[in-house]
Amino acid sequence: MSELTDRFTALISELEDITDEMTPADAARSMDDSALQQFWRRWPDVSAWAGSLWRELDQDISDHASPASEGGVDVGGSD
């Protein structure tokens, strides 16, 4: 795996660990002012990037999952 893949996988794993440890409400109550400022400043860009990545990967999956066209392809069956 590339270094970027390793970093991304570790980051997702860390975020998942946090979501397993506390609810969003608990997280909001426990964050100090500095963490809240970082969240408000950075989250919109991070969220937009993650949403774009999700849509890109979802499109790739749906492209691979679409059925083959029937034009000229014998898919078998009984007569």
pTM of the model: 0.66
Q: What residue spans of 1-79 are helical by DSSP H?
A: 3-21, 24-30, 33-65
79 pLDDT band, cuts 50/70/90, is low
Check if the beta carbon of residue 57 is closer than 8 Å to that of residue 48: no
Find where tokens 């970082």 sit.
38
Render pLDDT for 2-55 as a digit per residue (tens, 0 to 9).
Answer: 999 999 999 999 999 999 999 999 999 999 999 999 999 999 999 999 999 999
User: What H or E segment, with its residue span, contains residue 69?
Assistant: none
Domain regions of the chain by residue span: 3-58
Is 59:51 a contact under the CB 8 Å cutoff? no
Q: Which of the pair, 64 or 16, is modelled with greater confidence? A: 16
